[in-house]
Amino acid sequence: MTAPSQRALVPFVSVEHMMRLVHHIGLEPFLVDLAAQIEADFKRWENFDKTPRVASHSKIGVIELMPTSDGELYGFKYVNGHPSNARHGLQTVTAFGLLADVTTGYPVLLTEMTLLTALRTAATSAMAAKHLAPENARTMAMIGNGAQAEFQCIAFKAICGIDAVRLYDIDPMASRKCAENLKSSGLEVTVCSSAQDALLGAEIVTTCTADKQYATILTDNMVGSGIHINAIGGDCPGKTELHPDILRRSAIFVEYPEQTRIEGEIQQLAPDHPVTELWKVISKAEPGRTSRDQITLFDSVGFAVEDFSALRMIKQSLSGTDFYIELDLLADPDEPKDLFGMFVRARPE
């Protein structure tokens, strides 16, 4: 790690900078590189501090902190989830994040993470499906066509090779928005009239709905053998998308069981229901999909290591660019013990 500059200026990536950076790299290459970064960090999973995210729940949403460290860098994300925000013209999920040098405790990056969370969620989904989905899967059903849907579809195209998506949302305008945004993606896009219709011919199904309730987006009779389910909408206590009978028929893969049993689809099952940690599949310690007919389920709630990977990638990508500004975020007295003296010298004459 490099020592902080004399003024301890911290690189800050705004929303505008993030969009410019991703366009500079290219959306699909960015997602491929991000998935590779996440996969590499999952392979060294045991190096990370791990804890369920710190959550503050209310009747209408949740605010969370997601911290982790690999012993050299420390990262955290602040993120909210408020499904009713959309009715007021606000985002359901917003976020920002910070990366710091463990040696000094000084921040080395502050960045928006509303856009970056959508990108890392899509990259993680597709990275998991690369290990779990049926071989040569080409069609994905996308149930829930809100803010993350297009990112998911494009990530699965770039990383898993799908070439067709079937869209459904209870709000037809959301599906039309998604289809319009995917026009130039190279994907064959079909807007469907029901979730059941969307699943016709699909080898992969992604569920990404926002309501904070025990919901049944997929019923047991809708899910045939051999499908891979990427369930990303259930991410807090009391919020699910799948009928529990689907879970009982599936081989279930999770990021961090201690968190997923609280927040994921498996909160509906007994606390000792068997699950496989995804990092073990990526590290070849445990098998992923074991047969063509097996139903695999990635019960994804999002974990801090994925955010850490995204933060680290952004930090690396900034070198030689102007996609950031420097913030005077930290006090930097000439004499470290003379903070008050610095304050007094700044007094207007």
Q: Which amino acid is at 198?
A: A
265: which DSSP letter?
Answer: G
Whether 1 has a pLDDT exceeding 70, the answer reads no
The most distant pair of C-alpha atoms in the chain lies apart, rounded to whole Å, by: 78
Q: What is the pLDDT of residues 249-282, one digit of tens each?
A: 999 999 999 999 998 999 999 999 999 999 999 9
Task: Give pLDDT, residue 212.
Answer: 60
* Domain architecture of the chain: domains with CATH: 10-115+305-345 (3.30.1780.10), 127-303 (3.40.50.720)
Lowest-confidence segment of 94-108, 190-204, 232-246 by average pLDDT:
232-246
Active-site residue (options: 235, 272, 293, 332): 235
Lowest-confidence segment of 23-27, 86-90, 183-187 by average pLDDT:
86-90
According to DSSP, the residues that pair with 209 across neighbouring strands are: none
**Going by C-beta distance under 8 Å and a sequence separation of 6 or more, which residues neighbour residue 1?**
72, 73, 101, 102, 103, 104, 108
Whether 3 has a pLDDT exceeding 80, the answer reads no
Other beta carbons within 10 angstroms of residue 80's beta carbon come to: 17
Average pLDDT (69-81) is 97
- Residue 313 main-chain phi, psi, to 5 deg: -65, -40
Task: Give pLDDT, residue 83.
Answer: 84
Judge contact between 182 and 152, C-beta under 8 A: no
Q: Which amino acid is at 160?
A: C
Task: Give pLDDT, residue 240.
Answer: 87
The total number of residues shown for the chain amounts to 349
Task: Give pLDDT, residue 216.
Answer: 83
229 dihedral zone (left: phi>0; alpha: psi -120 to 50; beta): beta
Task: Give pLDDT, residue 258.
Answer: 95
Enter the tokens of residue 321. Answer: 């660019």
Whether 234 has a pLDDT exceeding 80, the answer reads no
Other beta carbons within 10 angstroms of residue 284's beta carbon come to: 10
pTM score: 0.93
Q: What is the pLDDT of residues 125-181, one digit of tens each?
A: 999 999 999 999 999 999 999 999 999 999 999 999 999 999 999 999 999 999 999
Q: E-strand spans in 219-291?
A: 228-231, 240-242, 251-254, 276-277
According to DSSP, the residues that pair with 175 across neighbouring strands are: none
Average pLDDT (48-57) is 93
Task: Give pLDDT, residue 156.
Answer: 98
Enter the tokens of residue 245. Answer: 């009978």
Question: 242 by DSSP, 3-state: which?
Answer: strand
Residues 333 and 6: their CA atoms lie apart, in Å, by 9
pLDDT band at 341 (very low <50, low <70, confident <90, very high): very high
Mean pLDDT across the chain: 94
Q: How many CA atoms lie within 13 A of 192 on its CB side?
A: 23
Q: What is the pLDDT of residues 278-331, one digit of tens each?
A: 999 999 999 999 999 999 999 999 999 999 999 999 999 999 999 999 999 999
Question: 63 by DSSP, 3-state: which?
Answer: strand
Catalytic-residue membership of 171: no
Task: Give pLDDT, residue 213.
Answer: 64
Task: Give pLDDT, residue 2.
Answer: 41
Residues 100 and 53: their CA atoms lie apart, in Å, by 18
107 dihedral zone (left: phi>0; alpha: psi -120 to 50; beta): beta
Lowest-confidence segment of 10-19, 37-46, 238-247 by average pLDDT:
238-247
Q: Cβ-count burial of 329 within 10 angstroms (0-12 exposed, 13-18 middle, 19+ buried)? A: middle
DSSP sequence for 304-344: HHHHHHHHHHHHHHTTT--S-EEE--S---SSTT-HHHHHH
Distance of CA 70 to the CA centre of its chain: 19
Judge contact between 114 and 95, C-beta under 8 A: yes
Judge contact between 92 and 81, C-beta under 8 A: yes
Judge contact between 122 and 152, C-beta under 8 A: yes
Q: Which amino acid is at 205?
A: V
CA distances from 29 to 79, 94, 136, 176 (A): 25, 24, 21, 26
Q: Which of 130, 259, 147 is nearest to 208 (CA)?
A: 147
Enter the tokens of residue 109. Answer: 């990056």
Residues 37 and 308: their CA atoms lie apart, in Å, by 10
Whether 187 has a pLDDT exceeding 60, the answer reads yes
Task: Give pLDDT, residue 161.
Answer: 97
Average pLDDT (31-52) is 97
